[in-house]
């Protein structure tokens, strides 16, 4: 296994779009109905990197997954909190690249002064199946996240209801006032 982690560039938009497309078209993991094209991915990459890190896992130069941080709530009092997202090539799961991505992302977020990591995770409303299982929940639990909220049947995709949970992991000190939050472009 020769997996490396690097920062995503706008030139990676096509590869990221290809990884994300099956999640949109074939699963309940994302609540999007229409897969974004490469141009939309370029815009998303550019927007995210204005404030947060956006990382790719590569195997011999080929992107096999990506993860990024984003705004949580969108108000100044929550600057020390971020929402994380991760998507892996569905043929590359189980090799440890997802863990590597999140560990690298967490390290960068600590340097930015982030205290809480959150992730919104789609879960089956009924029995797990190929459309939606508990893999993402299990992955996050394995990395130290815990469930903080459960919204039942709050999404509807391909003829079925989907639950959504929020998971949280604390990586900083919550005693007293937080230190300064530094946007990614000031830290890297």
Domain containing 125 — which CATH number?
3.40.630.30
Q: Which segments of the chain does DSSP mark as H helices, in order?
A: 13-26, 38-49, 97-112, 135-142, 184-187
Q: What are phi and psi of 182, to 5 degrees?
A: -115, 120
**What is the reported pLDDT for 130?**
85
Average pLDDT score over residue span 61-65: 96
Judged by DSSP in three states, 158 sits in coil
**What is the reported pLDDT for 48?**
97
d(CA 83, CA 4): 23
d(CA 28, CA 122): 7
pLDDT tens per residue across span 13-55: 999 999 999 999 999 999 999 999 999 999 999 999 999 999 9
**What is the reported pLDDT for 1?**
63
95: containing domain:
3-187
- 130: which DSSP letter? S
pTM for the full model?
0.95
Number of domain units in the chain:
1
């Amino acid at each position: 296994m020769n997996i490396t982690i690097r920062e995503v560039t706008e030139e990676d938009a096509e590869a990221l779009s290809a990884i994300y497309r099956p999640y949109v078209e074939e699963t309940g993991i994302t609540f999007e109905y229409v897969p974004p094209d490469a141009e939309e991915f370029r815009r998303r990459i550019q927007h995210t990197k204005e404030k947060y890190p956006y990382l790719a896992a590569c195997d011999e130069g080929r992107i096999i997954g990506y993860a990024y941080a984003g705004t949580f709530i969108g108000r100044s009092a929550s600057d020390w909190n971020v929402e994380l997202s991760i998507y892996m090539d569905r043929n590359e799961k189980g090799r440890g690249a997802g863990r590597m991505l999140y560990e690298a992302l967490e390290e960068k977020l600590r340097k930015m002064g982030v205290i809480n990591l959150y992730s919104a995770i789609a879960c089956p409303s009924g029995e797990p199946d190929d459309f939606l299982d508990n893999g993402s929940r299990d992955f996050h639990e394995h990395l130290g996240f815990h469930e903080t909220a459960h919204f039942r049947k709050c999404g509807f995709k391909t003829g079925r209801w989907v639950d959504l949970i929020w998971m949280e992991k604390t990586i900083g000190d919550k005693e007293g006032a937080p230190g300064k939050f530094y946007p990614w472009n000031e830290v890297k």
